[in-house]
Structure formats: C-alpha cells, structure tokens
C-alpha cells in the first residue's frame, strides 16, 4: 500500500473511531429486529459498539475500523459504518474528508445481515 493510501486509511480510521465512540458527526441506524429489543439491551449494544477494539486483519483488512461484531444476551450483533455524501443520496467521494462525508453506523443482529 502506498503512503498516500496508508495516510487516507489512517484518517478514515480516526474519523470512524471518533464517530463510533461519541455517536457525533453522523447517523445511527438500527434494524427492525434491534429496535424490537428492550431499551436496556439496545443501550448495552451501543456501549459495546463504542468500546469495540477487537479489530484484526480478518475483520478489518483495510484498517478503517468500519465493521465489528460481538455477543450480547446470547445474540450476535454486527455493526458497520458506511460513507455517504452530505445529503445521504450517494456514496461519499472521499470518506477521509468529514466535510464531504456523512457517516452512517448500522447496528444489526447477525441474522439481519
């Protein structure tokens, strides 16, 4: 990977980590199955997303910290971050540029994926 690509991946990772830990600077979505869970389970799941650090080459091949999974109350949860333009109409042309990107984190159950 060239230096520019590494720098871009590092910037995307920093932006994703900041968003994932604060839920500020983007949108949070939950699938219908997650929305049906008790509030305390949803709150615990969101806390797990913010605290997630189990990134490996297998689940994070580009080093962008844009996907993760964990077990909670005997269920497997997935979360992912997608990059859209400012109006959420199209994909972002540059996920490393927060002025041109809206991050959308989706929390789902494994069976939703």
Give pLDDT tens digits for 73-112.
Answer: 999 999 999 999 999 999 999 999 999 999 999 999 999 9
d(CA 16, CA 41): 23
pLDDT digits (tens, 9 = 90+) for 76-87: 999 999 999 999
Q: Give me the count of residues in the chain.
A: 113
Model-level pTM?
0.93
- Non-local (6+) Cβ contacts of 13 within 8 A are 63, 64, 65
pLDDT band of 5, cuts 50, 70, 90? low
pLDDT digits (tens, 9 = 90+) for 39-68: 999 999 999 999 999 999 999 999 999 999
């Amino acid at each position: 990977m060239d230096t520019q690509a590494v720098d871009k991946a590092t910037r995307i990772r920093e932006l994703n980590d900041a968003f994932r830990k604060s839920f500020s600077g983007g949108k949070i979505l939950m699938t219908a199955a997650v929305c049906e869970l008790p509030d305390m389970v949803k709150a615990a799941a969101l806390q797990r997303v913010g605290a997630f650090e189990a990134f490996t080459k297998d689940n994070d091949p580009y080093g962008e910290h844009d996907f993760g999974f964990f077990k909670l109350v005997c269920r497997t949860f997935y979360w992912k971050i997608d990059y859209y333009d400012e109006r959420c109409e199209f994909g972002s042309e540059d996920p490393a540029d927060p002025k041109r990107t809206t991050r959308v984190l989706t929390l789902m159950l494994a069976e939703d994926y």
